[in-house]
Amino acid sequence: MKKSYLNNPGTLKIDLMLRGIRLPREDGPLAFYGRAGEGVDIVLPGGSPVNVPCGEEFTRDSPYVLKKAGERWLISDTTGEVEVRPVKMPEFLSRTTGEGTPYSEIATVHGSYVLILPKKECVFFEKKVECSYCAGGYDERPGRTHTVDEVVEVVSAVLEEGVSEIIYLSTGFTEDDDGGIGFLTPYIEAIKKRFNCLVAVEALPPKNNHWIDRTYALGADALLYNLEIFDEELFEALCPGRARFVGRKRYIEALRYAADIFPNGTVASHLIVGLEPPGSTCMGIDFLTDMGVVPILPIYRPRPGGALRIEPLNAEVIIPIYRHLYRAVKKKGINMNWMRDISVVTTPIEGRLIAGEKTGGISGLIEKFYGTRLGLKTAWGLSTLRRKLRVKEIEED
């Protein structure tokens, strides 16, 4: 009998991301939201959000179908069905800023957080050293830099609508020594000054650690330096820009340093599953967790028309990697409540579902609490207090 993942939201999330879903035609266009207009966002049983591909060629062969039964929505495969909740397009995304920019050009919703790109630019394309798997659409000519006021306007709308309490700022990728933090500084400051929300920052590792101190002092609550590939040779081959302008050694140094500065569980790094052998990804997981860094594992899917043709792994191979992820993070005592509920990746906390473990008692309650709005507000308060206690301003010599 064919194996079904329907009964485990953790494995179902992975399989859905890999194989996509077929949508009901008869209902006309769906008002569901998908990341940057791609796919649909669905909340699985237990609350895990997932962004599921639905428009690509490969999704036609998906065993999964989204269908409506009365007021309920179901995902079914050949073996059964499970109730889910498709995510409605947030209202704020249909608005435009005072300067006429659609909000959707600045922000995208990724489950528990909203990604904001003040400027969409990757210098690696200009230098012809882009990552060969890049699917971010950064190859187009650099977009306009959105002003601080525009970004603040969007964040205000996000928070007002209650879409998210976490704003994830990405620098785009520049070759500045600061890894892009200098560019993001006015945005972080403006957001932190006006709103009580958490801010996560994705950047390139800066040349000097004092920029990491600075990033924390500015108000970043979480930080991501995405190594993407752990294997040294593959890293150099597939990420020539990162290898040349930053270097694997510096990624590791910066992550180690950041994990010492930021709160437990708030420093993360992506390792893309499927670009290197699973054993290598597992070594990467162990290495990162040893340093106190949370590995986040997006799944590789070939870009239509892209030059890189690596066959994506299937769920059978991938699922043990996530089980390993959960166990490694748990063993090292890394807090899983920060990096969670992201629609485009499976996070360590969801790895628990895959590992078949249940949390009960106090830790289960804490986990539930941090998934709520009040929990996120509490996280913001504690994070702010911690920063207040730790950051000291010193006179520059």
Partner 1 sequence: MAVEIDRRSIWVLLVLKGLRPAFFVLLAAGFYYLIKMPTPEGLTPEGKNAIAVFILCLILWVSNIIPLAITSLFAIALVPLVDILPKEEVYGLFGNEAVFFILGAFILAGAVMHSGLSNRIALVIMDRFGSSPARLLLSIYLLAALLSCFMSEHAVAAMLFPIVFEIAKSLGLRPGRSTYAKMLFLSLAWGCVIGGIATFLGGARVPLALGILKETTGRTIDFISYSVGVFPVVVIMLLFGYFLLTRLFSMDIDSVEKAHEVLKRRIQSMGKIGYNEYMVGIILVVTVVAWATLGARVGLATVSLAAVVALFVLRLVRWKDIEEYVNWGIILMYGGAIIMGTALERSGAAMWIAQSTIGGWMVEPWLAVAVLSLLALLFTEGISNAAVIAILLPVGIGLTGGVNIDPVLVTYAIAVPAGLAFTLPLSTPANAIAVSSTYLTIRDMAKAGVIMSITSWVVFNLVARFYWPLIGLGGLR
Interface contacts to ligand SF4, rule CB under 6 A? 122, 124, 130-131, 134, 136, 138, 173
330 binds, among ligand SF4, partner 1, none (CB under 5 to 8 A by kind): none
Backbone dihedral angles phi then psi of residue 109, each to the nearest 5 degrees: -95, 130
Residue 124 CB, nearest distance to ligand SF4 (Å)?
Answer: 4
Euclidean distance between CA atoms 72 and 70, whole angstroms: 5
User: Are 109 and 50 in contact, with CB atoms under 8 Å apart?
Assistant: no
CB neighbour class for 14 (10 Å; exposed up to 12, middle 13-18, buried from 19): buried
Euclidean distance between CA atoms 50 and 344, whole angstroms: 6
For residue 391, count other CB atoms closer than 10 A to its CB.
14
| Cα 154–chain centre separation | 19
Nearest to 205 by CA among 232, 231, 223, 192: 223
Nearer Cβ to ligand SF4 (122/198): 122
Cα dihedral: 329, 333, 339, 343 (round 10): 40
Residue 394 CB, nearest distance to partner 1 (Å)?
Answer: 5
Contact set with partner 1 (CB under 8 A) = 210, 213-214, 216-217, 260-261, 386, 389-396
Nearer Cβ to partner 1 (124/216): 216
300 binds, among partner 1, ligand SF4, none (CB under 5 to 8 A by kind): none
96 SS3 class: strand
Residue 115 CB, nearest distance to ligand SF4 (Å)?
Answer: 13
Q: How far is CA 392 from CA 61, 134, 270, 284, 364, in A?
A: 57, 39, 30, 34, 35
Backbone dihedral angles phi then psi of residue 294, each to the nearest 5 degrees: -85, 120
User: Are 63 and 78 in contact, with CB atoms under 8 Å apart?
Assistant: yes
89 binds, among partner 1, ligand SF4, none (CB under 5 to 8 A by kind): none
Strands 198-202 and 166-170: parallel
389 binds, among partner 1, ligand SF4, none (CB under 5 to 8 A by kind): partner 1
Nearer Cβ to ligand SF4 (64/138): 138
| Cα 5–chain centre separation | 23
Residue 376 CB, nearest distance to partner 1 (Å)?
Answer: 20
Residue 258 CB, nearest distance to ligand SF4 (Å)?
Answer: 18
Nearer Cβ to ligand SF4 (136/375): 136
Nearer Cβ to partner 1 (213/367): 213
62: DSSP letter: -
Nearer Cβ to ligand SF4 (165/231): 231
Residue 225 CB, nearest distance to ligand SF4 (Å)?
Answer: 11
Nearer Cβ to ligand SF4 (14/224): 224
Half-sphere exposure of 99 (CA within 13 A, CB side): 15
5 binds, among partner 1, ligand SF4, none (CB under 5 to 8 A by kind): none
Residue 388 CB, nearest distance to partner 1 (Å)?
Answer: 9
1 binds, among partner 1, ligand SF4, none (CB under 5 to 8 A by kind): none
57 binds, among partner 1, ligand SF4, none (CB under 5 to 8 A by kind): none
35 binds, among partner 1, ligand SF4, none (CB under 5 to 8 A by kind): none
Nearer Cβ to ligand SF4 (136/143): 136
Residue 246 CB, nearest distance to ligand SF4 (Å)?
Answer: 10
Residue 59 CB, nearest distance to partner 1 (Å)?
Answer: 46
Amino acid at 323: R
Nearer Cβ to partner 1 (218/344): 218
326 binds, among ligand SF4, partner 1, none (CB under 5 to 8 A by kind): none
User: Are 272 and 229 in contact, with CB atoms under 8 Å apart?
Assistant: yes
Nearest to 53 by CA among 16, 104, 108: 16
271: DSSP letter: B
